[in-house]
Homo-oligomer: A and B are copies of this chain.
Amino acid sequence: MRVAATTELNLASIRAAQRRIATMIHRTPVLTSTTLDEQFGAKLFFKCENLQKTGAFKARGATNAVYELSRADAARGVVTHSSGNHAAALARAARLRGIPAHIVMPDNAPQSKQASVRRYGGQIVLCAPTIAAREASAAALQAQTGARLVHPYNDLSVMAGQGTTALEFLEQVPDLDVIICPVGGGGHLAGIAVAAKAINPRILVIGAEPAGADDAARSFKAGRIFPSLSPRSIADGLLSSLGELSFAHIKVHVDDIVTVTESAIVASMRSIWEVLKIIVEPSGAVGLAAAELIAPLRTGARIGIVLTGGNLDLDKLPWQREAHE
């Protein structure tokens, strides 16, 4: 039985996504640390989407989008543009379903992320590293193949799939007071906010963004989208601008978007590696950096932090001198 494609982002469509993708993704663990709890004066819960299939939460949205397609639509394949994690996730989902995946990637995408897409059988088309070039290449491929464009975040099926992070997190830790999630294009944050608020309207949902790529924070304050013009951050997964669809839900369901410095991101990343013993990429650590701002305001709160991904080049770590040439 195939449930109809997502036409609205709400608790029902997110629950449908959860059922659809359940056997194809990991139920990721939630980790805790007494050391970090003492340091923050709060009880922290880390939802480890860095341990998700393909090393990022992107597996949730991509798998939902691919498995929602009718057989006829699926046969024409899928296409996307992505700096990496969504690309690998879509390639994997397409391979699981046995359909082609065309992946437009900026030509400066890390080798490790390109290799990951290839390992999952994705067909890579490189383009200039601008959002305009990516979108143009993807549109051309789509016209040529008839493939379904699965946008990395501005897509209801993708957002519904990504919202399943919150369903799972609240099954594992029902009484969270706060959920903090990094925001790039905003699909994950939108899905999480819609799911979490539907389950418990009193949960505070906070977006966390690098100060050097603060389009979401500025858009949230202004109530209209400011595109990301020349974002700069080590958190290379969070450089995208908000999408119209993700912003529409973020505006309504998210409580605040806070920004963090580059040094806070690197320190949080190192802290997660050292204390939790897991690998997060810089983007994945932005939630913990934001928790430093939130925890003092809510002493003793139960704070859920979404660690979004763990894909990075192990030969270029931000605390090595060579990484900062």
Chain A residues at the B interface, C-beta cutoff of 8 Å? 26, 29, 31-32, 34-35, 50-51, 53, 55, 112, 119, 270, 273-274, 276-280, 310-311, 314-315, 317, 319-320
Kindly list chain B residues whose C-beta atoms are within 8 Å of the C-beta of A276. 51
Q: Residue on B with the closest CB to A27?
A: B29
Residues of B within 8 A of A273 (CB): 279, 314
- Note all chain B residues with C-beta closer than 8 A to A55: 277
CB distance from A299 to the nearest CB of B (A): 22
Tell me how many chains of this kind the complex includes. 2
For A311, what are the chain B residues with a Cβ–Cβ distance below 8 Å?
A: 277
For the complex of A and B, the 3 pairs showing the least CB-CB separation, nearest first, are A277-B310, A29-B29, A277-B279
**Cβ–Cβ contact B31 & A51, under 8 A:** yes
| C-alpha gap A181/B112 in the complex (Å) | 30
Q: Check if A50 sits within 8 Å of B314, measured CB to CB.
A: no
Decide: A119 near B51, CB < 8 A? Known: A277-B278, A278-B278, A278-B279: no
A112 CA / B274 CA spacing, docked (Å): 10
Chain B contacts for A270, CB-based, 8 A: 314
Chain B nearest CB, measured from A132 CB (Å): 32
CB distance from A144 to the nearest CB of B (A): 31
* 17 residue pairs bridging A and B, Cβ less than 8 Å apart: A26-B32, A29-B51, A34-B53, A50-B277, A55-B277, A112-B274, A274-B314, A277-B278, A277-B279, A277-B280, A278-B278, A278-B279, A279-B279, A314-B317, A314-B319, A317-B317, A320-B320
C-alpha gap A29/B34 in the complex (Å): 17
Cβ 8 A contact of A277, one of B31, B51, B317, B319 = B51
A51 and B278 in contact, given A35-B119, A320-B320 (Cβ under 8 angstroms): yes
A270 to B279, CA, bound (A): 12
